[in-house]
Amino acid sequence: MSELKFTKEHEWIKINEGVAIIGISDFAQEQLGDIVSIELPKAGGVFRQGQTMAIVDSVKASSDIYAPISGEILEVNEGLIENPEMINQSPYDSGWIAKIKPSNIEEFESLMTKEKYDRYIGEIK
């Protein structure tokens, strides 16, 4: 998990061979409860860092998912449409939301490490 970076809005991101994979943290999915649907971004869409790119609906709330870095959507996890609960079951693996081609890699470097994110969660609990 050391390759993951996190946002204060509880998105995670990792870069693999120049492609950023994005999802929501385990903490976020726990706070949301059972996820019942997701509105995914469109492939080819371009987002700026911090812009809403998806919406997750759970039994408790509806929550915006923000782009942790700027870039173009290369692929979305279509499996989440039929099985949104994959986000609850495996937020860092099969529950990923989108893959982005980063347009500003420096944004990635500015995000929180796992250790910093864990401290942040401890402060907000």
Which domain, by its residues, includes 38?
5-104
Residue 120 within any structural domain of the chain: no
pLDDT-based confidence at residue 1 (cuts at 50, 70, 90): low
Residue 110 within any structural domain of the chain: no
Residue 37 within any structural domain of the chain: yes
| Per-residue pLDDT at 10 exceeds 80 | yes
pLDDT-based confidence at residue 2 (cuts at 50, 70, 90): low
Residue with tokens 């099985």: 83
Strand order in the sheet with 62-66: 35-39, 52-58, 62-66
Residue 48 within any structural domain of the chain: yes
Q: How many domains does the chain have?
A: 1
Q: Which residues of 57-68 are buried (b: 16+ CB within 10 A; e: fewer)?
A: ebeeeebebbbb
Residue 111 within any structural domain of the chain: no
Give 35-69 pLDDT, tens digit per residue.
Answer: 999 999 999 999 999 999 999 999 999 999 999 99
CA distance 62 to 47: 20
Give percent of the chain above pLDDT 70: 98
Instruction: Give the mean pLDDT of the chain.
Output: 96
CATH of the domain at 18: 2.40.50.100
Residue 116 within any structural domain of the chain: no
- pLDDT value of position 124: 87
Q: pTM for this structure? A: 0.94
Residue 32 within any structural domain of the chain: yes
Residue 34 within any structural domain of the chain: yes
